[in-house]
Amino acid sequence: MKVVEIEGKSVNEAIEEALEQLGNGITRDQVSIEVLEEGTRGLFGLLGTKPTRVRVSYAPEQRKLEETQKHLEFMLEKMGIEVRSIERQEQEDGSWLFHIQSADDSSLRHHSGEPLEAIAFILSRMVNQSSSEHLRIALDSNNFLRESELAIREEALDLAQSAIENGRSMAMRNMNSRERKIVHMAIQDLDSVKTVSSGEGYRRRVIIIPDGAERRSGNGRRQNNNSGRRK
């Protein structure tokens, strides 16, 4: 947030000066204005004159958040989703997570939550298209992301244990990038096992490889890792 406190002969003059200092073509409808002290005129306009003081605050992120929520509510209404509430929370990485509470969110959970990612992408393009300050957006619905993360972590750790016990590589199911990241993070601190991503597009999956094992999937077939990188 940018804040300017300034004095002027009148409220309007002080506000205009503050907007000029804020720069970037910021207008009155984009700021919060607080009159700290009303100016007074002294005798004959000279003795005892006190200037007007105002505080002008510009919070581009706050306005973007409100704009994002307005667009989100409109999109969910058009999808026929009965929204109970939408709460937003800033994440450790500076992004903002919008928590959607609704009566039925099956259409948002479809295909491992891909509609949530798609809507977040559209919202990001809408609110960031005319600004250099980028707002990163993510969506969750009825705690779907948290429940999904816990289930994927449990699945990954179970498969890692099997890989270690059997001495052979094990392949997770096909996953999107968010799910693959959860697997990599869940396994990274385990001894004697590592993960790599394999495949292309919607067929991309994570392979869990114990130390000393040939890179084969649980079905015994050799895997072809196209990149060898974690994605």
- Residues of the chain above pLDDT 70, percent: 87
Query: With 50 as the cut, is the pLDDT of residue 69 above it?
Result: yes
More confident position, 155 or 176: 155
Which pLDDT belongs to residue 130?
Answer: 72
Write out the E strands in the chain: 2-8, 32-37, 52-58, 83-90, 96-102, 137-141, 170-171, 193-198, 205-210
Q: Are 105 and 144 in contact, with CB atoms under 8 Å apart?
A: yes
Report, as an integer, the average pLDDT of 117-137. 89
Residue 227: what pLDDT? 40
Mean pLDDT of all residues in the chain?
86
Residue 121 has pLDDT above 90, yes or no: yes
For residue range 18-47, list pLDDT tens digits in order. 999 888 778 887 788 899 988 776 555 555
pTM of the model: 0.63
In the predicted structure, residue 90 carries a pLDDT above the cut 90: no
Burial profile 105-131: b = 16 or more Cβ within 10 angstroms, e = fewer: beebbeebbebbbebbeebbebbbeee
Q: Which residue has the higher pLDDT, 221 or 121?
A: 121
Question: What's residue 112's pLDDT?
Answer: 85
* pLDDT for residue 224 is more than 50: no
Q: What does the pLDDT read at residue 48?
A: 53
- Which candidate, 164, 173, 163, places its Cα nearest to that of 206? 173
Q: List the domains of the chain with CATH numbers.
A: 2-58 (no CATH), 61-142 (3.30.300.20), 147-210 (3.30.1370.50)
Pick the residue with more confidence: 153 or 178?
Answer: 153
* Run of H or E residues at 144: helix 144-166
